[in-house]
Amino acid sequence: MANSPPPVRILWVNPIGSPDYDQPMGEFMRGIKNADTQINVVSFRAGGPQHLEFRTYEALVIGDIIRAARDAATSGMDAMVIGCFYDPGIEAAREISGSTVVVGPCQAAVQIAGNLANRFSVIVGQNKWIQQMTERVHTYGYGDRLASMQPINIAVPDLQADCEFTARQIIEAGRRAIDEDGAEALILGCTCTFGLFEAVQKELKVPIIDPINAALKMAEALGGMKRQFDWAPSRVGSCLPPPEAEIESWGLLPAGAGIGNRYQVV
């Protein structure tokens, strides 16, 4: 068991068919990662959805997410993050990720919040998201702690359009969550609001969990444990991966398939 903080290697997947977020997110993460963490930000080939506000869009990228998980496995990544708060395809990615730990921003956020507050709310963009995200939170076991889902009525593509406006809407929705629903912490329910949590936290004075920060830090922690203690994903029972012979004979997961852009953060 090594003692120095292991230089963890992370694959961060922006699961959309556009490279536009890769560099800004990468830059943002450069500012918060541990000194020696290496992050590989990738997105998919053009031609796919450019956000995942609908189940249809998630379904159309989920194949590429699995291909990215395979890429993480074969390139020896310690952890991989599926960079969307719906954690799309996380169960399947965990099956095929080899010894790479797969982290979802939603699961990371609720686990952290579960250490800081007895009840929390999630700030969502639109009503549309509520049922699916509620189900996710329940799947992870945190349904009893969910005070509410509070919408700000902004679509994903507009979240970064006027950051000040978005922040104001979050603060208002957050205040409703605290005052009316009994929330004690807030989770921002989209990876596209990165950079805003500090202003909100200053104003509302409860922990504001940003899913990018949460996912990156949990990826560093779990990636480190994998390095130190060999705590890699289980491969028995329901975690059994498909046989390599089948994958090969059907030609299912050619190397590098799906990935359209790579941005390195060292």
204-243 binders of a second copy (CB under 8 A): 205-207, 209-210, 213, 217-218, 220-222, 224-225, 228-242
Evaluate whether 87 touches 156 at the Cβ level (below 8 Å).
no
What token pair was written down for 113? 């919040």
Q: Verify binding: residue 48, a second copy, rule CB under 8 A.
A: yes
Q: Verify binding: residue 196, a second copy, rule CB under 8 A.
A: no
Give the list of residues 6+ apart from residue 53 with CB closer than 8 angstroms, or none: 125, 126, 128, 129, 155, 156
- Closest to a second copy by CB, 151 vs 166, is 151
Q: Verify binding: residue 178, a second copy, rule CB under 8 A.
A: yes
Give the chain as a DSSP string.
---SPP--EEEEEE-SS-STTHHHHHHHHHTTS-TT-EEEEEEEPTTS-S---SHHHHHHHHHHHHHHHHHHHHTT-SEEEE-STT-TTHHHHHHH-TTPEEE-HHHHHHHHHHHH-S-EEEEESSGGGHHHHHHHHHHTT-GGGEEEEEE----GGGTTTSHHHHHHHHHHHHHHHHHHH--SEEEE--GGGTT-HHHHHHHH-S-EE-HHHHHHHHHHHHHHHHHHH--PPP-SGGGPPPPHHHHHHHT---TTTTEEEEEEE-
CB of 165 to a second copy, least distance (A): 22
Query: Looking at 19-27, 59-67, 163-171, which segment touches a second copy (CB under 8 A)?
Result: 59-67
Q: Verify binding: residue 57, a second copy, rule CB under 8 A.
A: yes
Q: Verify binding: residue 192, a second copy, rule CB under 8 A.
A: no
CB of 5 to a second copy, least distance (A): 5
CB of 153 to a second copy, least distance (A): 13
- Closest to a second copy by CB, 116 vs 255, is 116
- Closest to a second copy by CB, 116 vs 165, is 116
Query: Looking at 3-11, 19-27, 166-174, which segment touches a second copy (CB under 8 A)?
Result: 3-11
Q: Verify binding: residue 132, a second copy, rule CB under 8 A.
A: yes
Whose tokens are 């090969």? That residue is 248
| x-marked contacts with a second copy along 139-158 as a string, rule CB under 8 A | -xxxxxx-------------
Q: Verify binding: residue 27, a second copy, rule CB under 8 A.
A: no
Q: Verify binding: residue 254, a second copy, rule CB under 8 A.
A: no
Among 27, 153, 182, 255, binds a second copy (CB under 8 A): 182
Among 164, 244, 245, 251, binds a second copy (CB under 8 A): 251
Evaluate whether 6 touches 245 at the Cβ level (below 8 Å).
no
- Closest to a second copy by CB, 101 vs 154, is 101
Among 49, 83, 125, 189, binds a second copy (CB under 8 A): 49
